[in-house]
Amino acid sequence: MTSASPDIPNCGGLPAAVSAFADAFVDFAVSGIFFPTNPPPPLPATPAATFLPAPSRLVAIGDLHGDLPKSLAALRLAGLLPPANSPESSPTSTSWSAGPTLAVQLGDILDRGGDELRLLYFLRRLSISAAAQGGALLPILGNHEVMNVCGDFRFVTQQGLQEFSSWAGWYRAGLAIKRRCGDLEPPKNPFLGVPKTYPGIRREFWDGIRSRVAALRPDGPIARRFLADLPTVLVVGDSVFVHGGLLEANVEYGLERINAEVSDWIRGERGDNARAPEYVCGRDAVVWLRRFSEGFNCDCERLQGVLGMIPGAKRMVMGHTIQSEGITAVCGAQAVRVDVGLSKGCGNGLPEVLEINGAGSQVRVITTDPAEAWMYRKQKPERAPAALEKNGEVKDGLALLVRESHALKGVEAKA
């Protein structure tokens, strides 16, 4: 504990209360959500479990991409939230309504939409509510979470930058409150060392980019709080959940080892500018692979071999690759693809979720009621006003704002 400067007031022996107030103030200002005043113990410096037993009911939800209204529709469709027309329902309700259900969200919460932070806060608050009811909501990491931790913002929207700029203002206010309490340890300033200028990008977006780097770089406050404890691969009963897919080398390396090392990287234990682990980078990485999720000519023999390396595994459930006709399965339902392009930023697909019951023996797709589907069909996907196509590459999101998209493939902050 540091001694208070004569110019800084002492908090009367209540530094923890002052710090908690500042955190609650920032949380509510950013998300409109209050977290419990008696939360569970702090998360250990290790990732969540990689292998979990089969629950009585298991649900899988695909990519969300910064679209809070459509995400709420998917959560209600899965029965995780009360129906929209029920007395218990409200736009900000975080009341879990699914009892002991275990729900897995397949990653890609970030990018392509303007509700990224609100989604992160909402899902974390709902997971706390689920745990209190004997259930669980377990997001996993997608390639877009990895990209953002790396400072790769090619698929960020202007609204996404504005949301992080707003967060930065409130976060700085929270830091100022804590600094007024002389008997608190000086809070870490995540903005130190982050560049203030970004040549090639319009000046009006600089603050949003800087705020995003500060929040999401390794050991950044948003990365540490909302991403560092998420698994990259999760095995629940006989179902393997992974954003992109697994190959033999990944299983041989060790699924628990992958989760632990990715978690360490996001937590900043490898350094603020450490490179991402190799198995989350590149075409065949676990968050990028499309070998088992693209089209219907899947290499079923290879998939069966990979599953055979994981004791008891019968299916691989993946996101990442949009299934424009809804959730699909190939290879005798050993490969199940649940990314329906839900977000208005990448398809505005009809909400669908996967349900697995009977310890894996009963698998079905829950789809939007036809009476409600018209609401989504009449909404056009949100596209950039003038997508730029050059040398066969279609750019969208923030990549439209830069002369060369490689300028956004990684922002380095000085330690």
Would you please indicate which residues are annotated as catalytic (active-site) residues? 144
Find out whether 351 and 59 touch, Cβ atoms under 8 Å.
Answer: no
Residue 328: beta bridge partners? 337
* Two structure tokens written together for 251: 């299983």
For residues 164 and 30, give the distance between their C-alpha atoms in angstroms, rounded to a whole number: 9
Is residue 209 within a helix (H) or strand (E), and if so which, with residue range? Answer: helix 206-216
For residues 293 and 238, give the distance between their C-alpha atoms in angstroms, rounded to a whole number: 19
Give the amino acid at 318.
M
Find out whether 292 and 249 touch, Cβ atoms under 8 Å.
Answer: no
* Two structure tokens written together for 197: 């200028």
Helix, strand, coil % over all residues of the chain, rounded to 5 = 35, 15, 50
Q: What is the 3-state secondary structure (H, E, C) of 237-285?
A: CCEEEECCCCCHHHHHHCHHHHHHHHHHHHHCCCCCCCCCCHHHCCCCC
Q: What is the 3-state secondary structure (H, E, C) of 87-104?
A: CCCCCCCCCCCCCCCEEE
Q: Which residues contact 32 (CB under 8 A, 6 or more apart)?
A: 92, 118
Burial class from Cβ neighbours inside 10 Å (0-12, 13-18, 19+) for residue 132 reads: exposed
